[in-house]
Structure 1
Amino acid sequence: MARICVARDASKAAGHRGSRWLEVVDAEVLHKEIAGLLAQEAREGDAAWAVLAYEGLPDFGPHPNLGELLAWLDAVDEYGPPFEALWATGSFDRVLQAAEAFADSYQGTYADTASWACRTLALMGQSIKAQADPEAYACALVASGQVRFIPAVDGGLHVFWND
């Protein structure tokens, strides 16, 4: 379950007030819940809100786009831990951009660079001879910027082609 702790963003001197944990399921529902929180806590001046903490989501900052939060959850539902690993690299500003890059570049999760290289060479129709060094092939592609390996949380490597 993904949740955000939202609070009325009072004056800088007073700090945050009236925090409450909200489930991140639907943008419209979230907007209504935040509006209700602001109405309950309203005082003089404009009321704003801020996210104090995230649970089950990466940190999108104090004033996130709620659509981005939901898009991230959708991408994780569709692509799983490899997408989370790609997002965690910090290479993307927008979730949609990251999801498109994932769909275009993800090659799978492998035990190590050699197993990926052997599989890739086989898919390309190249025979792997005893004297071939699959790890050297993988290292050469990394060095030339053609591929990247991201460690998987449960072991192994997520493999992505670079454009």
Structure 2
Amino acid sequence: MVRSLLSAVIPLVVGAATIGSVQDADASERERRFFSAVEGRWSGPGEIVAGKYKGTKFICNFTGTTPDGKIGMSLDGGCRVGLFTQKMSAAIEKSGRKGYRGTFMDGAAGKGLDVIGGSVASNRVVFKLARASLDGAMQARMADDDTMNVTVSVKVENQLVPVIGMSLKRLDGGSVGAINN
């Protein structure tokens, strides 16, 4: 299960729902700034920190883009464990009052996960993840303009337990956007 979670979740990074027109405008701008900051090429190490594959280390490479005229992002790339590389992809968009919706890999209908909610606050995003009876969350935090830390957790007995951690560095020499409070 952790292995399929690893395959489905590693490309993660990004969400929000607010009330009121002024708050919506402020939130939309904050969300756009966050997603713009994620645009570009990223690379870095990760590790499975819990479960059957605890201690497994990997290296990921992604390209982040934002959809034209929409709030959200796409990540495409892959992660390597030893000699093997697994293609990874994620597509997430804000869907009106439903909040964030999207898929990792081919979504819960395939071997991936669905994004069923999320929020953006300052320099971080938290997404709610689902697949059959598995619930979890992914948090991506911009430590600075060129460093993104990602943690994936799963719910075990009503408590979120971290299972995957990654630290990605920007490869393209400068942030596309900046995040300010």
Which one has a bigger Cα radius of gyration?
1
- Per the normalisation by structure 1, the TM-score is 0.25
Q: Is the helix fraction higher in 1 or 2?
A: 1
Tell me: higher relative CO, structure 1 or 2? Use CA pairs within 8 A at least 6 residues apart.
2
Q: Is the strand fraction higher in 1 or 2?
A: 2
